[in-house]
């Protein structure tokens, strides 16, 4: 399986900003998150792994490099302006390319990354757009995306993971939750549900009111449809989501595909980790 991931990354501290990418105090946590989103994801899902191997009786044990047939052919492109970036802290890796988006307006970087990703989609089985603080731990994650799309006739459903953080001592928290009562004023809030069997149980999906996940993943046939749609419109939207990251993510999918997520009780089936602590901004419900 050939997979291409595109990640936009800008780190430009500004006084008083609430965004992690604009907060100097978060420099080190953002550096660690960027490492996990790039090198970490490459190591978790690529073909290379290691094994403790003895050189013989009473001889040393070494870490021996092996190749796994279960790994994927994963390539990551990091779109990051040279003057506002933490990319220089990353070790080199043959499957990681750092690309200057060639724009003075750094707010355009997410859309540039998402657009270039879609433009390369014919060369890959699956593509993914991710923010720079997302870790994918599920080794079957990409296989699940391919499987779910294969269950549909035309590829009209985009299956997005839940973006989660971990609250120490309490458990996971799903970010981008839906508002109570839904949003019937939004054209995509239809209440549609799907159900598919996976392994030993059925998994249920719903058309998410809040479509943002900090990422999206598409098969080749899905990417072809999305790219064609935006090429006809010169990549200019007629609506705007809350910010450039959201617009470059689910914002490109909403006019074309039906964005689905697992119902909250099945969140572990398709989830990614958000490497931050946004949950601390909110009180616990009583």
pLDDT at 136: 98
CA distance 106 to 80: 9
- Whether residue 174 contacts residue 268, with contact meaning beta carbons closer than 8 Å, is answered with no
Query: From the CB of residue 276, how many other CB atoms can be counted at a distance below 10 Å?
Result: 19
Edge to edge, the sheet with strand 201-207 lists 157-159, 258-262, 201-207, 193-198
Backbone angles phi, psi at 49, to 5 degrees: -150, 180
Q: 171: part of which helix (H) or strand (E)?
A: strand 171-174
Q: What is the mean pLDDT of residues 241-267?
A: 94
DSSP three-state, residue 127: strand
Within 13 Å of residue 98, how many CA atoms lie on the same side as its CB? 19
Mean pLDDT of 225-238: 95
Digit-coded pLDDT (tens) for 192-211:
999 999 989 999 999 999 99
Are the C-beta atoms of residues 248 and 110 closer than 8 Å to each other?
Answer: yes
CA–CA dist 244, 221 (Å, integer)? 25
pLDDT digits (tens, 9 = 90+) for 121-180: 999 999 999 999 999 999 999 999 999 999 999 999 999 999 999 999 999 999 988 888
pLDDT at 19: 77
First and final C-alpha spacing in the chain: 46
C-beta of residue 128 within 8 angstroms of C-beta of residue 4: yes
DSSP letter at 178 equals P
- pLDDT tens column, 40-53: 999 999 999 999 99
Among the residues of 176-243, which ranges form H helices? Answer: 220-232
Phi, psi of 85 (to 5 degrees): -160, 150
Can you give the pTM of this predicted structure? 0.94
Contact 142/3 with Cβ under 8 angstroms? yes
Q: Which residues contact 119 (CB under 8 A, 6 or more apart)?
A: 227
């Amino acid at each position: 399986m050939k997979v291409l991931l595109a990640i936009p990354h800008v780190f430009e501290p500004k006084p008083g900003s609430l965004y992690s990418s604009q907060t100097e105090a978060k420099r080190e946590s953002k550096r660690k998150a960027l490492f996990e989103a790039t090198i970490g994801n490459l190591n978790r899902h690529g073909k290379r792994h290691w094994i403790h191997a003895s050189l013989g009786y009473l001889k040393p044990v070494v870490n021996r490099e092996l190749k796994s047939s279960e790994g994927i052919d994963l390539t990551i492109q990091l779109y990051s302006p040279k003057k506002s970036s933490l990319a220089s802290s990353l070790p080199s890796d043959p499957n990681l390319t750092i690309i200057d988006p060639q724009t003075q307006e750094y707010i355009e970087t997410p859309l540039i990354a998402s657009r270039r990703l879609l433009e390369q989609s014919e060369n890959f089985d699956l593509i993914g757009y991710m923010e720079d603080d997302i870790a994918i731990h599920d080794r079957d994650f990409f296989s699940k995306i391919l499987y779910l799309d294969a269950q549909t006739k035309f590829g009209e459903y985009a299956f997005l993971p839940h973006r989660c953080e971990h609250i120490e001592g309490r458990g996971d928290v799903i970010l981008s939750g839906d508002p109570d009562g839904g949003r019937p004023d939004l054209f995509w809030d239809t209440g549609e549900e799907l159900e598919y069997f996976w392994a030993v149980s059925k998994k249920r999906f719903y058309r998410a009111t809040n479509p943002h996940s900090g990422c999206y993943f598409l098969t080749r046939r899905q990417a072809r449809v999305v790219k064609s749609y935006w090429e006809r419109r010169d990549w200019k939207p007629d609506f705007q989501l809350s910010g450039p990251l959201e617009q470059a993510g689910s914002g490109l999918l909403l006019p074309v595909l039906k964005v689905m997520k697992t119902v909250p009780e099945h969140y572990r089936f398709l989830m990614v980790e958000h490497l931050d602590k946004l949950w601390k901004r909110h009180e616990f419900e009583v």
